[in-house]
Every structure is written in structure tokens, then in C-alpha cells.
Amino acid sequence: MATIPQIRNRLLQGFPEPQADLLAHVFVESHDELVTKAELNELTGVVKELAEAQQELAEAQQELAKAQKRTEWAVADLAKQVGGLSNALGGSLEDFACDLVPEILENRWQLVTKSAGPEDLSDGGRHREFDVVVRGEIDGKPVVVVCETKASVSTAEVTKFLKVVERIRSRHPGDDIRPLFFGYKADRKAREMIVKAGAAMIFTRGVMIPAHK
């Protein structure tokens, strides 16, 4: 923008000196004021847009927080349902074993059942909790049947459980301790391992109870 002296000199070409001075000052002051208002309007617009954007962001954050909360509730509820289903399945399988195993052993081994249920047994220096332990007598001699209850029994689980039973036997050399696998199913190799070890098994696909000694 031109300075006041420059504007004054141009105005002197058509106006007297006093008027030229006045008009030059008025023009510059008016221009400065107009620029200030324009800048202020622009700044006001920017501030307004920023405020609107911030408000929209705050609303979006609230919706995100609500959605996250709903997700957390859903996950927690799902975990609760799955946990409850797992507990129900495990409990029903164990209860089924407690009812069915003694009945089958009474028919196959003429076992006189004394008790059937969860029990802790010493396993090589520590205590291990078993879901089902059947205690009874065959021909007047005490027998302990340690059961591994699994919905699906794998070869790895067969190997592991048989080793556990051997450790228990070593801790109680005078006791007749027999392993039994109980569940819904076991693959062919797992069943072959059970038969080879002389253990008993009760599955939906077959029952193998070796003759009692």
C-alpha cells in the first residue's frame, strides 16, 4: 500500500493542500481498518470451523467410547458363556464317569465299589488331583482305578497319563492301581496305546476292559 506522503502528492493534483492532507490520512486509516476487519472475519471463521471440528471430534470420541464399551461387555459376556459351557461339559463328563465306570467294572471285574469321585493322590513327591478315582474290592482285595476323563483323548495324553500312573504305583508298591481312560472319543493310535499298556478304556466308539488279575 502507498504511504500517506505518496497519496498526498497524488491528491494535490486535484485538491488544495489541506484537503489533500485530510483525504490521505482518511484513506490510509480507512484501509487499515478494512484490512483489520477482513483479517478478523477470516480469523473468526477459522475459529468457528475449528470449534465445529472439535465438537464433531468429541461426538466421534463419545461414540467410539460407547462402541468400545459395548465390545468389552460382549467379549466379557462371551468369555463367561464359554467358561460356563466348558465347566458344564467337564462337570457332566466327570459325573457321567462317576456313574458309569463303577457300573461297568462291577459287571466286568465284579468290583464292589466303595467310592467314586475326585481325589488327590501322591505323584512322585507332590499331590495330583484326579477328577475320578474309583475305589473298591475284587475278591476281597482293594483296587484303585484312576480315571483320565477327557472329551477327546490323544496319544500324547495317553503317554502322559500312563507315566503319572506309574509314578503313583512306585509310591504305593503294595496297592493294585489301574488306569482307565473315559471320554467321548480317542483316535485309533491312542486306543492301540491303551490296549498295549493293558489299561482300560470306555469311549462311545468302544469299551475295552482287560480281564482282572
Place of cell 506522503: 5
Query: Radius of gyration over alpha carbons of the chain, in Å?
Result: 45
Q: Do the Cβ atoms of 119 and 133 come closer than 8 Å?
A: yes
- Is-contact 120 127, C-beta < 8 A? yes
User: What is the per-residue DSSP string for 67-136?
Assistant: HHHHHHHHHHHHHHHHHHHHHHHHHHHHHHHHHHHHHHHHHHS--EEEEEEEEEEE-SSSEEEEEEEEEE
Residue 113 and residue 134 in contact, taking contact as beta carbons nearer than 8 Å: yes
- Burial of 118: CB neighbours in 10 Å, binned 0-12, 13-18, 19+: exposed
Farthest-apart Cα atoms in the chain, separation: 141
Measure the CA–CA gap between 157 and 146, rounded to whole angstroms.
14
Q: Would the pTM of this model clear 0.75, i.e. be above it?
A: no
For each of the chain's 213 residues, which pLDDT tens digit applies? 567 777 767 767 777 777 666 666 666 666 555 545 565 466 556 546 756 776 787 787 888 777 777 766 655 555 555 455 445 444 578 888 999 999 999 999 999 999 999 998 877 667 888 889 999 999 999 999 999 999 899 999 999 999 999 999 988 888 999 999 999 889 899 999 999 999 999 987 778 888 865
